[in-house]
């Protein structure tokens, strides 16, 4: 059991720096304040990872030949789609590096064929999200519609979307070979990802781009408290994350009926780790009120909570939900879903016979989940894509965290007095 809760931790006055919300005057008004916010975020995240049982040791299986093969495949099949645009070439090369790291960290025990399919799919997803989406996003919804309607124009399409279609089919064929349900689950997640990218692109850029009932009351005379649909951010995040495709790949050699009951916590773990690790680059980096804003899960969730009148757990009575509440909510959820997955894959097999464990590949599933949990976190720490260089130091050098814990203990002792 934790020594203290995330609410107690975030109730300390220094964390009031996160008491801002989309469309409102923020609390980070200088480079110095931004540096302070990033440091506090790193300390918070380090504590959360500790609660998750994160093992910071590097257990990945790095294969330089795999990296070379992925780079060669990219040169033959991906870079030609960039034409003469050097900015796109740069993004593709970065996506290849990220996909290789992802494959190393998330799937250290998988065969090279499975890792290849997952890495190639990751390249396509990252590329479409990073730049192709800006050009083709208005076509994404129609593209998936045409696929579902069996249109020849969609199935024989060229360009980025045709490239994506071919990779999805290869993914489905490989990961559905043992059980078609696994391939279908992953394939559905990938097509949902594409259609949801259009929704995300429509919202990005300004607080004014979201539908009127999601906007803060101060930005629209058509906004009213308690009238906002509460489930939209979570639904959109689940659709646009494609996490189920990575989970289906994770348990390729494990019976489908064994791991599918844990799909919900596994997907939520995958998404919330990314949301927490992206907070610095997507929220803190966009607090300039004159700049654009990524309308991501945390932003939409904060908008919805405020629009529905959800009070903050911090600050003065009457304050509405802010990003400080959002951070607390994400970390609480992460601890919950990791405990659920640990019980399902690590604790449950201890109560089973050797024959049951063999029949259901329980030991293999436990090893895959543990590697995935640590690898998914470590990938975000090590990859420059998420701007978390300071977090690595916070995880390794625990001096700031030890001091903060001592301060909290002192506050709790004083409160009892």
Using one digit for the tens of pLDDT, what is the confidence trace for 158-215? Answer: 788 889 989 999 999 999 999 999 999 999 999 999 888 877 777 665 666 667 777 6
* Residues 400 and 43 sit within 8 Å (Cβ to Cβ): yes
Q: Using alpha carbons, select from 72, 262, 249 the residue that is nearest to residue 173.
A: 249
Res 156: pLDDT: 66
SS3 label, residue 311: strand
Distance CA(365)–CA(357), nearest Å, equals 10
Distance CA(242)–CA(122), nearest Å, equals 10
Answer whether residue 352 is part of any domain: yes
Residues ≥6 apart with Cβ < 8 Å to 349: 356, 357, 362, 363, 366
Distance CA(232)–CA(203), nearest Å, equals 13
Distance CA(277)–CA(372), nearest Å, equals 16
SS3 label, residue 320: strand
Q: Tokens 């097999």 label which residue?
A: 349
Q: In the chain, what is the greatest distance between 2 CA atoms, to the nearest angstrom?
A: 74
Answer whether residue 214 is part of any domain: yes
Q: Tokens 């304050």 label which residue?
A: 319
Answer whether residue 140 is part of any domain: yes
Answer whether residue 239 is part of any domain: yes
137-162 burial, b at 16+ Cβ within 10 Å, e below that, comes to bebbbebbebbeeeeeebeebeebbe
Distance CA(87)–CA(94), nearest Å, equals 11
| Residue 384: Cβ within 10 Å count | 11
Which structure tokens are listed for 222?
């058509």
Taking phi first (over 0 means left), then psi (-120 to 50 degrees means alpha), and beta for anything else, what does residue 150 get? left
Answer whether residue 96 is part of any domain: yes
Q: End-to-end distance of the chain based on CA atoms, in angstroms?
A: 24
Burial of 1 (0-12, 13-18, 19+ CB in 10 A): exposed
> What pTM was estimated for this model as a whole?
0.90
Res 205: pLDDT: 57
Long-range contacts (CB closer than 8 Å, 24 or more residues apart) made by 327-331:
327/10, 327/18, 327/41, 327/44, 327/276, 327/279, 328/6, 328/7, 328/10, 329/301, 330/272, 330/275, 330/276, 330/298, 331/6, 331/44, 331/48, 331/51, 331/276
* Residues 249 and 270 sit within 8 Å (Cβ to Cβ): no
DSSP run (H or E) holding 66:
helix 64-77
In CATH, what number is assigned to the domain containing residue 294? 1.10.600.10
SS3 label, residue 329: helix
SS3 label, residue 109: coil
Q: Tokens 């001091």 label which residue?
A: 403
Res 58: pLDDT: 63
Distance CA(3)–CA(53), nearest Å, equals 14
Res 395: pLDDT: 74
Parent domain of 307: 6-416
Which structure tokens are listed for 157?
């399409």
Answer whether residue 153 is part of any domain: yes
Answer whether residue 119 is part of any domain: yes
Distance CA(330)–CA(258), nearest Å, equals 27
Residues of the chain with pLDDT under 70: 1-3, 25-27, 58-59, 132-136, 154-156, 203-210, 215-227, 286-294, 317, 396-402, 404-405, 408-409, 411-417
Distance CA(394)–CA(388), nearest Å, equals 10
Residues ≥6 apart with Cβ < 8 Å to 173: 183
Distance CA(118)–CA(170), nearest Å, equals 10
Answer whether residue 1 is part of any domain: no
Q: Based on the structure, what is the number of domains in the chain?
A: 1
Res 207: pLDDT: 61
Q: Using alpha carbons, select from 1, 37, 33 the residue that is nearest to residue 18.
A: 37
């Amino acid at each position: 059991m934790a020594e203290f809760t995330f609410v107690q931790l975030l109730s300390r006055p220094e964390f009031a720096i996160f008491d801002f919300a989309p469309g409102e005057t923020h609390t980070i008004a200088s480079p110095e304040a931004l540096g302070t916010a990033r440091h506090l975020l790193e300390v918070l995240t380090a504590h959360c990872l500790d609660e998750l049982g994160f093992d910071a040791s590097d257990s990945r299986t790095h294969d330089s030949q795999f990296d070379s093969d992925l780079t060669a495949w990219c040169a033959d099949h991906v870079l030609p789609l960039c034409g003469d645009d050097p900015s796109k070439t740069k993004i593709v090369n970065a996506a290849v590096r990220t996909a290789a790291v992802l494959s190393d960290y998330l799937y250290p025990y998988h065969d090279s064929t499975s890792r290849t399919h997952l890495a190639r799919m990751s390249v396509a997803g990252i590329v479409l999200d990073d730049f192709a989406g800006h050009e083709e996003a208005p076509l994404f919804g129609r593209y998936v519609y045409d696929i579902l309607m069996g249109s020849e124009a969609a199935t024989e399409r060229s360009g980025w979307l045709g490239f994506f279609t071919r990779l999805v089919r290869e993914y489905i064929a490989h990961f559905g070979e043992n059980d078609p349900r696994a391939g279908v689950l992953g394939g559905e997640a990938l097509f949902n990802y594409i259609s949801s990218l259009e929704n995300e692109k429509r919202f990005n850029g300004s607080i004014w781009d979201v539908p009127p009932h999601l906007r803060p009351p101060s930005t629209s005379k058509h906004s009213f408290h308690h009238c906002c649909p509460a489930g939209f951010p979570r639904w959109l995040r689940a659709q646009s994350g494609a996490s189920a495709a990575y989970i289906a790949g994770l348990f390729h050699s494990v019976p489908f009926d064994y791991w599918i009951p844990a799909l919900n916590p596994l997907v939520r773990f995958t998404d919330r780790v990314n949301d927490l690790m992206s907070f610095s680059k997507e929220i803190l980096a966009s607090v300039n009120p004159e700049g654009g804003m990524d309308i991501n899960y945390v932003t939409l969730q904060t908008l919805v909570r405020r629009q529905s009148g959800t009070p903050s757990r911090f600050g003065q009575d009457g304050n509405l939900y802010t990003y400080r509440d959002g951070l607390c909510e994400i970390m609480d959820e992460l601890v919950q879903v990791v405990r659920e997955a640990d019980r399902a894959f690590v604790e449950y097999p201890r109560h089973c016979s050797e024959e049951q464990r063999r029949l259901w590949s329980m030991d293999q599933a436990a090893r895959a989940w543990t590697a995935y949990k640590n690898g998914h976190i470590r990938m975000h720490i090590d990859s420059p894509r998420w701007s978390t260089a300071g977090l690595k130091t916070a995880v390794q050098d625990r001096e700031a965290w030890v001091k903060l814990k001592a301060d909290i203990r002192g506050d709790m002792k004083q409160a009892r007095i």
